[in-house]
Chains A and B, each alone.
Chain A
Amino acid sequence: MTAAVPARARWSAWFWRAVGVAVLLTVWQLIALAVYNLAVLPAPIDVVENLVRNFGGSAGLAYLGLSETSYLGNLRYTAGIVLTAWLVGSALGLSGVVAARLQWVRDLTDPVLYVFGVVPVVVAAPFALIWFGFGPVGQWILVAFFSYVTVAVASLAAALRLAPRYEEYAATLGVAMAARLRTVVLPAVAPATSSAVRVALGAAWSLQVVAELFGSETGVGRVIAVRAKTGDVPSVMAVIIVLGLVALVCDLAVARLAKRSGAWQ
């Protein structure tokens, strides 16, 4: 009986999500029928048709001079940079825990975190791309750096908030400082930090697409830019939707891991 309730709640949640999507698609379809102009608002079926047609290869993209000529290839490029840069940046961001405990590390990193942490991404992105180039290296550094800043600020704040008695307790059990950071501070700050990691991932997708819009030769952002220029709204919508779905799947996977790290709460 007690096990049946969560299962029921889960099914209920999925049911209402499905209803939400169905309502959205219906409203979209109705508005598209009312507008009746593919260049303004294509119907859902037009977008799906465009996605299927261009997913594995697109003559239009080849004609427009993109080095990747399929939605899949461009998506792979964008996702590859986002996921690797976010992963490395977030891992480096965990150094906020060390900064919270070693004053000289905090003195070293504070100016970077607090100066660049408050600069809006749309302002910082062009500068970063000028410094590091508009290619994959510049984009990767941009995403990794902002992931680092987001996670480092959160892990630093969470570690500073942690009551000292947990580490003192471990110290009186004979646990050395490095092991205390690993087994006391990191697990304690994991719930707060994992939220920041999720935020960083969400921001990483946006940041990468913006970076690609600025002048990349490849990537989802580039596809959107060239298709928008030719007024191909179904293509733009298809790419945006598929990118959103990939980002959603990644977020769900990270959320699952985050939930495990906070199971003790």
Chain B
Amino acid sequence: MAVKSMAVKSAGAVDLAAAPRAEATGHTAAPAFRLRDLVLEYREGTQVVRPIDGVDLEVPQGEFTCILGPSGHGKSTLLRCLAGLIAPAGGTVEAAGEQVSGPGADRGMVFQQDAIPMWLRVEDNVAFGPRMRGVPPREYRERVDRLITEVGLDDRRRAWPRQLSGGMRKRVAIAAVFANDPDVLLMDEPFSALDFFTRSRLQNLLLQLWAETGKTICFVTHDIDEALVLADRIVVVKDGGIAMDVPVAFPRPRGEELRALPEAQDLRRELLDILGEG
């Protein structure tokens, strides 16, 4: 009960104790995202579906936000809107104070299904973003090499993606997005198809890269445990709106001991109740 009263608060009042601080990472004061009365629609045959209807949300810079929700309730649609891949039917979306009008290098995205170019070898995949944007190689070569090492693919640099396991391909995708040095990472259930151990390893890798870079991360998942391990804040998207917006201030690193923490158990139960309602 104590957790509930602490947890549900407005977006602006989120506790960022566990997040890389904005001032420490050199970010400006403008939030990474500001959503005002956001409405998202898409057509399904002759019907217009409105998965997001009148959402207000602010995501501070440097925060690790998990967007949690049942399948088909608009969390991926919301993320695609933040990426600029779909335009709002109503309301506004701002990224770092600028109106979002389309996709851009400031908002990198890791997709649920493999989206890395299968016709590029690992090292070319990781360097793809900066190379295509015309960044001189001397400015990204070292970062690309370091990221390939950090994601543990040093010995697979010249491999084609088809020669890698699903977990390895996700590591390529994560390295590629970090190599492009965006302000924000948008991740759409990136680990949902992986086994438990691979998923745990990738969660740790992601947290390590996040701690090093202090980037803002918006991570869509339907897995409560994954959200509890990763997030500074959990936003539950359900029935077109935000059903819950809760800070997660448990100490990091969050291993198996998190399960034994009474506050974590309470929050887990509360999230389960909300997700299971209706």
Interface residues in chain A, defined as those with a beta carbon under 8 Å from any beta carbon in chain B = 163, 165-166, 168-175, 179, 183-184, 187-188, 190, 263-265
Contacts and interface: CB of A to CB of B under 8 A. Distances in A.
Given A165-B113, A171-B102, 16 more contacts: A163-B115, A165-B111, A165-B115, A166-B115, A166-B117, A168-B115, A169-B109, A170-B117, A171-B85, A172-B104, A173-B108, A174-B103, A175-B128, A183-B117, A183-B128, A190-B119
Residue among B128, B162, B176, B177 having the largest count of chain A Cβ atoms under 10 Å = B128
A244 B102 CA distance: 53
A33 B133 CA distance: 70
Contacts of B162: 264-265
Given A184-B117, A264-B118, A174 B104 contact: yes
Contacts of B133: 173-175
B119 A168 contact: no
B104 A168 contact: no
Given A172-B85, A174-B105, A264-B162, A187 B132 contact: no
B117 A174 contact: no
B250 interface: no
Contacts of B115: 163, 165-166, 168-169
A173 B85 contact: no
Interface in B147-165: 160-162
Interface of A is mostly: helix
A189 to B, nearest CB: 10
Contacts of B106: 174
> Is chain B's interface secondary structure helix, strand, loop, or mixed overall?
loop
B38 interface: no
Contacts of B175: none
B238 interface: no
B109 A264 contact: no
B186 interface: yes
Given A165-B111, A265-B162, A187 B83 contact: no
Contacts of B120: 264
B129 interface: yes
A169 B111 contact: yes
A262 B33 CA distance: 41
Contacts of A172: 83-85, 103-105, 107-109, 186
User: Which 9 A/B pairs are nearest by Cβ-Cβ distance?
Assistant: A174-B105, A173-B129, A169-B115, A171-B103, A172-B109, A264-B119, A165-B115, A187-B119, A175-B132
Nearest to A168: B85
A98 B166 CA distance: 31
B116 interface: yes
A163 B118 CA distance: 12
